[in-house]
Structures are given as C-alpha cells and as structure tokens.
Structure 1
C-alpha cells in the first residue's frame, strides 16, 4: 500500500451509498430504472469527473538500500511525485509525458550519490492514473465503505487461493481496501464501463498476482495453468488425469510436464515451511552422539542443521512491521540459497526460471547471508 493511500482501518463495512430503486412491486424488471449510487452526497459518475484520470510518464524501481524518502521527495524536479510501496519495496515516480527517459537517468544518478543502486528500473510512457487523494474525502470514504464488502463477496470464489497468502482475516480486509484504492487509481471513466464492473474484473487478476509476488511469476503461472488444466479435465472426464493425459491435454511433452511439476512442488514446499511462519528458534534439532554415530549419519545431521539455519535465517524479523520487507518471509533468498547449494542450479538458470534478475536474487540472498552468519556463529558456540 502506498504511503499516500487512505487507511482502511477507518473504513467501516457499512455502506452509506443510496440504495438502488427496484420500482413498484409487480413492475416488469426490464423496465426498472437503476438509480445512481451516491457517495458523500455526490453521484458516483459526477465524483469521477471531479478528479479525472490523466496521462503521465512513470518510472518503477527498487533499490538495494532503502532511500531516505523525505530527502528524495524534496530534491525531485518540479511537478514530479513519488509513492513507495513498503510491502514490495517498490518506488513509483510520476512526471509529465515525455519525461520518462530523463527521470530514469536522474533516479540512477541520485541513488548512486546516496550509496544505492537501482534494481529492475523500468520506465513507462503515457500511463493513465488518478491519485485517490484528489477525490473529495467523503466521496472516497463512502465509496470504499460500499465497495469493500462487495469485493469481499466477489472474492469468495478465490478464497482458497487467498488463504494461502492472507490467512489472517484482518490482513485480508486490509488487502481488499488496498485493491479498491488501486482500482480507483486505474479506473478510466471515459470508457463507459461502470466502476463496479471494472473492479470485479481486476480482483481476479490481483488475486493471481499474490502468488506471483510471493514466489515468482513463472512458478505461479505454471501452477495456475496446471490447476486449470486438471480442473477442466476432471469436469470433462469425471476423474483426475494421468501424467501422459495431462501432458497431452496441455500440449506439452511428459518431460516438460515433469519439470513444471517439480517447480510447482517447490512452490508448495515453500508455502508449507513451518519455520517461515512460526518460531524457528523453538524447533529443537536433535543430533546423534558423534562418538557412536557413523560418519554418514553425522554428515546428514550437519546438513539438517545447516538447512534449519538457512530456513530460520529466511523467517520474518519479529521486530519488523508486517508491511516492511524484513517483516515477511524471504522466500526468494531461501530459493536462491537452497537451489544453488543443493539443487545443482546456477543463479543464471534460476533467474530464468523465476523470471527475475540475478541482481535482485543477490539482494535477497545477501540478507540471508547476514542472518546465516549470525545463526551459525551461535550454533558453533
């Protein structure tokens, strides 16, 4: 959620929007006239006109060291704004149309002067957005009160996927209001589509993005395609497909399907790592007596100890806020270390599979290394 976004904790789930008029009892439904929703005393259609969507150039980027945001904002060129998503560590800098290339060079130079380097910097031109804060405050508050519960009801069909990433109901409520505000920023009223319809189509996409953001675009998309194919096959044949049948159904070779299935299995394994969600230090690791155990067993015990230390090093920092990067499981760092150490893969291969840059992987792996050094030192003591 951006630092300029409206806090959803202030939004009660009761709607102040005026109800639709269904007309007199017994009237033919085809002739009923749907009355417009009113938020904060302003009809919905008129509210969008008060803060129309406008084109701009946008630069997205992350950095290896967090920027001093207040100083960064103060030195931005006139008319340029920045928002920062703490959860994703993503900066978005908006400027006038035609300024994307200049802004990108300026950002790289500014970050370098302050001891940081940019990661995944991407410049976009003609991005159409509105700032939710530009809408009348009462209008925006009532709109969120109305569409928050509507969105929760719409998302019931996606709840099994959502619970994998947002098991806490409070976190889900927070996320839903973030999505409503995101839709407000992207909704183009000139296209003639009602806001409610636009929001409904976007919600399913954003649910899918939860997996992409947590575990990488390639792995999440692979899992999604496999699950859709399995569900379609079951609907058609009333049974689960065999490996050969699923490969043929998806138009893949069996070897490709097996490789993709391994990716999905790794993804599910990452989700189910208990020590990433709970207290890793509370898990006791039992080691055999080295004077009585053979060398093979001791070698396995040492690997178990090292694997435990790696997983514990990737757990959320209990002292960090949940909306900060350190307050979330370092899944990319874990995958980088585990698959390059024990999985026999190079960082270049892993980068292609996870659809991320080697530099981005190194940023997350460096966080693991720092925590690992501390934990291994404690184990030696």
Structure 2
C-alpha cells in the first residue's frame, strides 16, 4: 500500500529571513516609533529667489517648510484644516516681499513623516543599506537615468534623496515592507525625471510609444511600420506622426551637448565681413545668436549642486527657440510640452537675464 510522502514543514518551505536592524533598532520598529501623520500642505513656487531666512522666522507656530532647490518648489506643512488659511498667509507674505507665487495650491490630509524625526543612527544605517540596493534595482532604467544624470555623483545624490522621500511617504500600517515600497516608487520617480525636464505630455507620449514598440517587437521580432504602430496603439497615422514629432523634439533637446558641456569654450569662426556676401553674414549672425541662447541655458558652474541653476534650462531653451525661430506661440508650445505658460515664463525669464549680458558682449 502506497503512503503519501510527508509534506515539507512550513519552516523548510519558507526560509526564515531575519529582520533588518538599523542603528540597533529593527526596521519595522523604527518606523512604528515615528508613525506617518496627516497634515495640510501648501505647494508653491516663486518668480524670484525667496528670502528663506525671514520666511522661516515669520512662519506661524507648528508650521514647517521644505524646499526642493532643484525644482524650485516649496512645501509648507501645517495642522489639518489650516491649508486654505496657510495658503492665503503665504500669498500675502510673498506679496509684501515683492515675490509672486506660482502654482500655489493647498492639499488637505497629506500623510507624511519627517525623516529627521527618526532616530539618527536608524536613518543613517537605513540609507547606507538601501543606497546600493536602489542602485542595483535601477540598473534596468540606467539608459533613461543617464539622459538626465550623466554624472555618477549626481546619480548617487539623487538616489539618496529618493530614499529620504520614500521614508517620508512610507505608511507602515499598510503591511508592505519598506524595501518593496521603495522599489515601486523608484520606477515612478525615474519616469518623473523626464516629465520634470521636458513636460508631462512629451515625456508620457515618448513612454507610451517606446512601450508599444517594445511590445510589438516582442510579438513580431521586428520593428513596426508607421501604420502598424498606429494600429497597435489605436491611433490614426496623423496622430502618430504628430506625437512622433513631439518625441523627436524631445530627443533633439536632450542631444544639445552644449547644454551639458562648455559652450563658452567652443570657438565660433566668423567670416571676414569685407569678403563674405550678406547672406553668409546673416547666417553667421543667426549662428551667434543661437550659440548665445544655448550658452544662456547651460548650467551655472557657480551654483550649488542642488539648485535649479545647476541644471540645464531645457524648458527655457525650448520656449525661446520655438517661439523665436519655430513660429509657435507660447500657448502652442505649452500644449505640446504639457506645462503651463506661467512655468514656461519662469524658465524663459532665467534665460533672458543671462542672454542680455551675452548679447551685449556680441555687440561690442
């Protein structure tokens, strides 16, 4: 008589994994000690540098502020129910300082924790552990990341910032381990790099097209024709062509090497005005003007690494170039890039301040 083999014990089927310990505190316990809490948050930007020290000193009691220098975004957190009042206070205070708020909005019931409230040794060890883990996880996205963060040091800093961001958003009551939560957020934040740099519509259009091309290739082992890709995506050929032009513009902006290099170190050769015909001189002047515009959008070498000025001003370049030479209005460019005209104006104003000095040098 045959007897069934004994079932493996649960211990053998599921290997035991010791809990992670950071700073002498188990990971789950560390987050439980500093639970995520709700608060009202006000997001805004300003049209010029905000005097941060006076602003912090004037904040009402129980209100905190964080500043994303790379995006120029301020986040002010206060007690639940105080969001609208806090938004009015910020708007009035900025007006007194001669600053205009951009995109100010209040958000109620935002659940966050401040990383600084965690035990320092716990937070330090957690970041040391998850930094190499995150870099390994992001290997599949590295081709996209390098378009925006070519410097390995910048990549390490960005990933560290993402870990701290995940710490602030992680809700320990959901029953999901922090490592799993972090892994899902990393993919989302990689996609946001393109959205922040080039506008949501353009980045999302590129992402959808690349996914569709990859899916078609996996099914048919070849790249699709234009008509096949349009049918695969459920679009007309005209829509696909229009979206492809948007993607091509996005890729052209990325390929402006002078934005990341040293445009001022590039020698621009001019013909002798006494020997060259007027048409050639006109083209030379256009080249000089285009060169000055590109140089005005390059990163400021004197700016701190986390500041917005330390990043190529791609949106400012696109705004100036497409409205000056592309024959488009700001409204049209805004619709194509999926960003507001006000946001375009903020970036274009940065270009204008630098461009005025460069044009003055060219006229001498």
Match of 1:372 among 348, 355, 362: 355
SS at match of 1:58: strand
For the pair 1:184 / 2:167, whether they are aligned, the reply is yes
Paired with 1:318 and 1:341, the residues of 2 have a C-alpha distance of 27
Which residue of structure 2 aligns with residue 149 of structure 1? 132
Match of 2:313 among 330, 338, 343: 330
Name the Cα RMSD after superposition: 1.5
SS at match of 2:70: coil
For the pair 1:128 / 2:111, whether they are aligned, the reply is yes
1:183-212 deviation per Cα after TM superposition (whole angstroms, max 9, x unaligned):
100000101111111111111001111111
Which residue of structure 2 aligns with residue 233 of structure 1? 216
Deviation of the 1:29 alpha carbon: 4.2
In structure 2, do the counterparts of structure 1 residues 93 and 282 end up closer, same or farther at CA, with 3 Å as the change threshold? same
For the pair 1:194 / 2:177, whether they are aligned, the reply is yes
Q: TM-score, normalised by structure 2?
A: 0.94
1:277-356 pair list within 5 angstroms: 277-356=260-339
Deviation of the 1:166 alpha carbon: 1.1
Deviation of the 1:44 alpha carbon: 1.2
Paired with 1:266 and 1:326, the residues of 2 have a C-alpha distance of 23
Match of 2:257 among 257, 268, 274: 274
Paired with 1:255 and 1:31, the residues of 2 have a C-alpha distance of 54
Deviation of the 1:291 alpha carbon: 3.6
Paired with 1:31 and 1:91, the residues of 2 have a C-alpha distance of 46
- The count of aligned residue pairs is 356
Deviation of the 1:260 alpha carbon: 1.3
1:48-87 pair list within 5 angstroms: 48-87=31-70
Which residue of structure 2 aligns with residue 14 of structure 1? none
Q: TM-score, normalised by structure 1?
A: 0.90
For the pair 1:224 / 2:207, whether they are aligned, the reply is yes
Preserved CA contact (<8 Å) 1:128 1:186: yes
Which residue of structure 1 aligns with residue 343 of structure 2? 360
Deviation of the 1:28 alpha carbon: 6.4
Preserved CA contact (<8 Å) 1:120 1:357: no
Which residue of structure 2 aligns with residue 210 of structure 1? 193
1:332-365 deviation per Cα after TM superposition (whole angstroms, max 9, x unaligned):
1101000011111111111222222222211211
Unaligned runs of 5+ in 1: 1-25
Which residue of structure 1 aligns with residue 148 of structure 2? 165
Which residue of structure 1 aligns with residue 83 of structure 2? 100
SS at match of 1:92: strand
1:59-114 deviation per Cα after TM superposition (whole angstroms, max 9, x unaligned):
11100111111211111111111011111111000011111111111111000000
Which residue of structure 1 aligns with residue 3 of structure 2? none
Unaligned runs of 5+ in 2: 1-8
Deviation of the 1:27 alpha carbon: 9.6
SS at match of 2:306: coil
Paired with 1:369 and 1:47, the residues of 2 have a C-alpha distance of 49
SS at match of 1:79: coil
Paired with 2:76 and 2:274, the residues of 1 have a C-alpha distance of 62
SS at match of 1:377: helix
Paired with 1:177 and 1:69, the residues of 2 have a C-alpha distance of 24
Which residue of structure 2 aligns with residue 16 of structure 1? none
